Amino acid sequence: MQALQSHLFAVREYLSPVLKESKFKEHGRITPEEFVAAGDFLVYKFPVWSWEKGDPSKARDFLPADRQYLVTRGVPCLRRAQSLAYTDADEDAERLLSFGDGGTSAGEGEEWVETHAGRKVSQNQSNAVLEEIPDVDDGGDDLARGVAGLSLGGGVGKGAQETPDLADLDDIPDMEEDLEEADEATAKPKPAAVVSSASAAGAASSPAEPAKTNLLQVRTYDVMITYDKYYQTPRLWLIGYDENRTPLNPQQIFQDISADHAQKTVTIEQFIHSSSLQAASVHPCKHSSVMKKIIERMNNSVVAEQLAQHAKAGSSAGAAASKDTGKKKWFGRKSNSSVKEPVNEDEEVEGMRVDFYLVVFLKFIASIVPTIEVDSTTSF
Partner 1 sequence: MPILQFAPFSSVVSPAFWHKLTDLKIDVLRLDDAPVGISGSYGPGRSVHDRETGQDIVMNASFSVDGESFAGGADTAAGQHGATRTVYATGSFKNFNTIEEFKNADKNKLFNDEAQEIWQSIVASRSAKQLTRFFLISYADLKKYKYYYWFAFPAFVSKPAWEIEADGWKNVRTVFSADQLASIDGQVHADRQFFVVSKQGKVGAIEEYEAFFASVPAHERIVGFIDPSADPVNPGWPLRNLLAYLRALYPAHTTSVQVLRWRDLTSSQLGTVSLPAPLPSTTTDRPSAVGWERNPQGKLGARVADLAPMMDPTRLAAQAV
- Please list the active-site residues: 285
Q: Which residues pair with 240 in a beta bridge?
A: 221
Please provide residue 30's backbone torsions phi and psi, each rounded to the nearest 5 degrees. Answer: -130, 155
Which value, to the nearest 10 degrees, does the dihedral of the CA atoms of residues 368, 70, 374, 304 take? -90
Q: What is the largest CA-CA distance in the chain?
A: 86
Instruction: Give the nearer residue to partner 1 in terms of CB position, either 253 or 295.
Output: 253
d(CA 43, CA 242) in angstroms, rounded, equals: 26
Nearer to partner 1, 189 or 332 (CB): 189
In the complex, what is the shortest distance from the CB of residue 173 to partner 1, in angstroms, rounded to a whole number? 4
Shortest distance in whole angstroms from residue 166 CB to partner 1: 6
Give the whole-angstrom CA distance, residue 86 versus residue 181.
46
Q: By C-beta, is 10 or 48 nearer to partner 1?
A: 48
- Do 358 and 41 meet the contact criterion of CB atoms below 8 Å apart? yes
- Residues 294 and 286: their CA atoms lie apart, in Å, by 13
Nearer to partner 1, 157 or 234 (CB): 157
Residue 21 or 171 having the CB closest to partner 1:
171
Q: Is 15:33 a contact under the CB 8 Å cutoff?
A: no
DSSP 346-379: HHH---S-GGGHHHHHHHHHHHHSTTB-----TT
Nearest distance, CB of residue 310 and partner 1, angstroms: 29
Task: Give min distance, CB of 333 to partner 1, in A.
Answer: 29
Shortest Å, Cβ 174 to partner 1: 8
DSSP state for residue 23 in the 8-state scheme: B
